[in-house]
Structure 1
Amino acid sequence: MKNLIYILTFIITTSVIAQQNTTIAFEKSKLQLAKTYNDENIITSSIYNIIALEGPQSTYKDSLAYIYFNKRNFVSCFLVTNDLLKTKPDNLELLEMNAVSLESMGALEKALEAYENIFTITNDNYQGYKLASIQFRMNKNEDAYATIKKADQLSGNETLKVTFQVNQNYSQNVSVKAAIAYLEGLIAQSLEKTPEAKLCFERAIKLFPDFVLAKSKLEIINAQEQEK
């Protein structure tokens, strides 16, 4: 009798697993088809179904985080990345999406902690720029000045651009090194270091000659000097 129960249990378990595997394979096939036709709703739905079937350790959670990030759904992206970072605390891409999500949500204290962690790990000039910009927004000007000067000493990201909104109708993509020089100038101004700020704006223009905002700041400083 016991052997019969064991056999029946094995058959049922095997059947359930086989059925589940078939369902997962179907959802993955549907997901690939949805990607072919760029149907974002079906893509998201299929990923949720796969995660539900595979369980908490499903690798498709990462895909879900990217989807929310690319759609600028930063609340959902934060929640997914926050969950994933519990088991992948050193995953740089997840850390970056998490930090950007926090910043976009206006949670600056948490964003500050996230960017501090990333900058410590990467020693990357762009991440230093991001950290300094958060510190500056939070009026932590001395900290921001120290961070941006450190970022300025770092190389890399030569092809990366930072977008600046010049006015309602015009934005400008600027090289990272020029963006760093510009931010350093803004922070120097806030610390009443006008000569240092002027040099920073001049350096930003040298690095990116069409830098509209840097030119504007430099013109203001030059005009103030002429008035004295």
Structure 2
Amino acid sequence: MKRAILLLLLAFSASCLKAQTANDSIPKLDPKTKNALNAIDQFNYQMALRYNDRAMAKTKLYDLIARNPENLRYMEALSSLYFDAGQVASAALVALDILQVNDKNVGALEIAAYSLEQLGALDRALPQYESLYLLTGDNFSLYKSAYIQYSLKRYEEALNSVNMMVKNAKPDDKIGFAVSETETQEVGIKAAALNLKGLIYLDQNSKAEAKAAFTEAIQLEPNFSQAKENLAKAN
């Protein structure tokens, strides 16, 4: 996994250095020819999607990106294709290139954050989730930020994020927890935040505070399996 992350970061660095050179080497087309080629490639891209030919769809997107480097929607579509296919390294690289141009692109932030997290590059995923929260106010992004901060042992930051969630959680905010290989339990994000707060305290050997947080989570969600298990561990 570490080798895969290293290769990803090296590839991203290389792509940043070479992107401008590559763009400069593309022949300039007159507007009429460019528009005609774009129309053909867009048609072929849609047909490839219709017939589930993902490889051809990606090829047409690469042609469109080369011809229209200023139009980020083609890169957005390419990143989504990679992401939907589970090719998270490629999805992350494309999303990061988009963010080099527009660091407020919500779709690219979502794909970069999740893909980098899946790759285990938590320190790279964290700023993407933090930016997502600042742009959208979405408590799920704040929860992911808090959990990664906890995983990286940045406990003070994690507690700050958790306390923000507890304060600002909405009744409809839910998050899923795996209870088996095939079953997920959905709980309110406030209870999830309190459960995470307990884990942070438990990591710091503050058992009394951990128990209080787990207990409060269970009071909000009486069937919260993970909080119950964590409370048992804290005793």
When residues 126 and 50 of structure 1 are mapped into structure 2, their CA distance, relative to the original with a 3 A threshold, is same
Kindly indicate whether residue 168 of structure 2 is the aligned counterpart of residue 134 of structure 1.
no
> Which residue in 2 is equivalent to 1:9?
none
- Which structure is higher in RCO with an 8 Å CA cutoff and minimum separation 6? 2
1:77 pairs with one of 63, 88, 91? 91
Q: TM-score, normalised by structure 2?
A: 0.75
Q: Which consecutive residues of structure 1, in runs of 5 or more, have no partner in the other structure? A: 1-12
Letter in 2 for 1:195: A
Separation of aligned partners in 1, 2:124 and 2:186: 27
Separation of aligned partners in 1, 2:170 and 2:85: 28
Question: Contact 2:76–2:107 at 8 Å: present in 1 too?
Answer: no
Question: Contact 1:129–1:180 at 8 Å: present in 2 too?
Answer: yes
SS of the residue 2:100 aligns to: coil
Letter in 2 for 1:185: G
The correspondence of residues 111-126 of structure 1 with structure 2, limited to 5 A, is 111-126=125-140
Q: TM-score, normalised by structure 1?
A: 0.77
When residues 147 and 34 of structure 1 are mapped into structure 2, their CA distance, relative to the original with a 3 A threshold, is same
1:110 pairs with one of 105, 124, 146? 124
Query: Aligned residues, how many?
Result: 208
When residues 68 and 160 of structure 1 are mapped into structure 2, their CA distance, relative to the original with a 3 A threshold, is farther
Kindly indicate whether residue 39 of structure 2 is the aligned counterpart of residue 25 of structure 1.
yes
The correspondence of residues 175-214 of structure 1 with structure 2, limited to 5 A, is 175-214=188-227
SS of the residue 2:168 aligns to: coil
Which stretch shifts more, 141-150 or 165-174?
Answer: 165-174
Question: Contact 1:118–1:127 at 8 Å: present in 2 too?
Answer: yes
Kindly indicate whether residue 224 of structure 2 is the aligned counterpart of residue 174 of structure 1.
no
Separation of aligned partners in 2, 1:62 and 1:79: 11
Deviations 1:150-193 (A, max 9, x none): 2211134825433x333555543433233212111111212233
Which stretch shifts more, 94-103 or 132-141?
Answer: 94-103
Separation of aligned partners in 2, 1:157 and 1:56: 41
Percent identity, aligned pairs only? 32
Q: Which consecutive residues of structure 2, in runs of 5 or more, have no partner in the other structure? A: 1-27
Separation of aligned partners in 2, 1:58 and 1:124: 24
Kindly indicate whether residue 106 of structure 2 is the aligned counterpart of residue 92 of structure 1.
yes
Separation of aligned partners in 2, 1:111 and 1:166: 25
Q: Aligned-residue CA RMSD in angstroms?
A: 2.6
The alpha-carbon deviation at position 136 of structure 1 amounts to 0.9
Letter in 1 for 2:219: K
